[in-house]
A and B are shown apart, each in its own frame.
Chain A
Amino acid sequence: MSTVLECRKLAKHYGEGDLAEPVLREVTLHVQRGEACVLIGPSGSGKTTLLSILGCLLTPSGGELHIAGERVNFGSLRALGELRRTRLGFVFQHAQLLPFLSVEENLRVVGRNAGLERVALNGRINMLMQRLGLEAMRGKKPDKLSGGQRQRVAIARAMLHEPSILLADEPTAALDWHNGENVVDMLIAQAREARAALIVVTHDTRLLPKFDRVLSIADGCVKETPTLKPHAN
């Protein structure tokens, strides 16, 4: 296995000087390709903050982030955009699909932006629609879908360009247990198949056994918790 995501002593505080409020003190973390991780922690512990940094959306106050062996240059907005476009996949709490585009158009626009060629893109869209059971919804606008369906479209959107890292912040928070479980299963399956590192933030402890690794965040540091996975090795 190869390390695709690596944090070295990541730190983050909001505000400056006396008002500075440290959220992340020293986060050191290695995630391999194809690994499914879940990130847990109390409210306000910095889960979203960490995910934002890993997603190249937020600049850390200290430390280093390496993606696929390359150090991320937080000084270059262009480089950050490029990483998000090509290397990263995101699933948000509320799917955040564009309401004025159909399901298929939502996927197409993002795929083209990631640089996929027409034929490859069509192939990916068809494949993901089928896998995620979205075929009947192709032409529908997001407001005609259920929350679970929307989240499945969001997964398809995140997986289109076969990212190396898939980040999801509370993707099940807005769903009932059944739909939530379903979405997490799909996330894990898709990530595993694409050999992408997956990091999911959740408050739902019932989901933990599904993951390879459980990371818990407290006092600004991330600790590994022994996995609850029944068939863990």
Chain B
Amino acid sequence: MWRIISFISGLAVIVVLLFRYRITMRTTIDLTSKVAVIGLWRAGMQNLTALSRDALTLAFKMLWHNQPRLLLTVLGVGVAFFLAAAQFGLLVGWTNTNSALIRHANVDLWVMAEQTPAFDYGTAIPRQRIHQALSVPGVEWAEGLFMGWEIWQRGDGRRVNVELVGLDKSNVGGPWAMRDGKLGCVHVAHQVIVDELYLGPLGVKQVGENFEMIGERTVVGGISQGVRTFTASPFIFTSIEQAIRIDKRYHAEEITYALVRCAPGADVAAVQQEMRKRIAHVEVLTSNEFAVRSAKYWMLETGVGITVVITAVLGLGVGVVITSQTLFAITQDHLPNYATLLALGFRRSSLVVMVLVQSLTLGVCGVVAGSALFFSAVLASARTPIPLETTPLVYAGLVAVSLLSCLVASVMSLRSIFKIDPVSVFRL
């Protein structure tokens, strides 16, 4: 029991470490998948040449022989895979959510107060930083962005914490898709944009309704699409000037972030270096660095990520157990048949191939069933505040790990195959 727990926590630690160092994760997955592909290909060739294709037929027919068991196993493995996929889907969805504004701003560099842990926790810097940034060679464009926590008062008097984002002239850092109204409305007096996903919590029904934020009159001027929040406090967009009027902690000449775009062909890393030298008391991060930092903050510092990863690992573990149990039961049921095959001169390697093929078949069917569940869930959750999302890399990794663990699940069965003495056919 303790071994299992330490094994699982060990795995979780490895996964977390891999997550911390993304590059390592990428190379690891790359390497593992390469090794797996080469291994499978070799096994495949061997099995086509040295072992007859009958091993495949026998393996499938043996599985098919007990259809209810096959169905239940595939369902079980499918649900287990779905569990793991859904957990990673949450992880990817959340990671996308808490870096969405950063990525959609589509700028090269972010200038911010030192030690800003995540987008949601930026603090004030002088507006002057924009001009300082603009004076760095290679910089083409720079504007500000405001970000602050405020209180939204609904018509029924209930108060809701919100994240207010103030946009500069070009509206960079704002919503990327609008359902109603125009993005530019944020510059009209009192107007704000709210997202369609949070109309309920904010008590908004339509454009034109009046609310209050920290005593300031607020009019819904537009409704955006797909701007999720990870903190449960919805994003509200307005202009920097109106944001500062609402947020009494900021002075008129302050912003939270300076957003910088480099001239075409400029070396972003060099510009970043130069900017760090020239502007004191700020951090200069590339968009990607800031997105990773925000995601890491929410996923690792808050422990959310670890919980999710542990559940995912448990899901995979359940899949392994189900596969290994069924496979073992099938192998045990068919031991006399395996012994007969050996006695009739079938090679033991053919029997090994049979077990491995069965194991992979259970795995593949499970993955297919689980994927059907998962992608339905992805579709169903696409327009909700908590989406399941995935990336090709994450999904391929998950599938690879699932199939590899199916092979692990065949260990017990293979042991019993290796123990069969064909002489037992005379004593069955």
Contacts and interface: CB of A to CB of B under 8 A. Distances in A.
Nearest to B333: A99
Contacts of B427: 48
B336 A96 contact: yes
A27 B423 CA distance: 19
Interface stretch (B57-65, B103-111, B278-286, B384-392): B57-65
Contacts of B134: none
B312 to A, nearest CB: 36
A172 to B, nearest CB: 15
B426 A84 contact: no
B176 interface: no
A81 B347 contact: yes
A57 B343 contact: yes
Nearest to B63: A100
Interface in B320-353: 336-337, 340-347
A92 B347 contact: no
B422 interface: yes
Nearest to A89: B344
Contacts of B65: 99-100
A85 interface: yes
A113 B64 contact: no
Interface in B176-215: none
A104 interface: no
Interface in B295-325: none
A52 B426 contact: yes
A112 interface: yes
Interface string B36-65: 000000000000000010100110011011
A86 B426 CA distance: 19
Interface string B369-392: 000000000000000000000000
Contacts of B425: 57, 90, 92, 96
Contacts of B1: none
B428 interface: yes
Contacts of A169: 426
Interface residues of B, number: 24
A84 B343 contact: yes
Given A99-B337, A109-B57, A92 B345 contact: no
Q: Which of the listed residues B58, B342, B344 has the most CB atoms from chain A within 10 Å of its own CB?
A: B344
Contact of B52 (A99, A100, A112): A112
Highest count of chain A CB atoms <10 Å: which of B340, B342, B427:
B340
Contacts of A55: 343
Interface in A102-116: 105, 109-110, 112-114
Nearest to B53: A112
Contacts of B336: 96
Nearest to B65: A100
Contact of A51 (B54, B342, B346, B426): B426
A92 to B, nearest CB: 6
A98 interface: yes
A174 to B, nearest CB: 12
A77 to B, nearest CB: 8
Contacts of B343: 55, 57, 84, 90
Contacts of A101: 58, 61
Sort A-B residue pairs by CB-CB distance and give the 4 closest, nearest first: A85-B345, A100-B65, A84-B345, A57-B423
Given A52-B426, A96-B425, 14 more contacts: A51-B426, A57-B426, A81-B347, A85-B346, A92-B426, A92-B428, A96-B337, A100-B61, A101-B58, A109-B54, A109-B58, A112-B52, A113-B54, A113-B346
Interface of A: 48, 51-52, 55, 57-58, 81-86, 88, 90, 92-94, 96, 98-101, 105, 109-110, 112-114, 157, 169
16 contacts: A52-B423, A57-B422, A81-B347, A88-B345, A96-B425, A98-B58, A98-B337, A98-B340, A99-B65, A101-B58, A101-B61, A109-B57, A110-B344, A112-B52, A113-B52, A157-B344
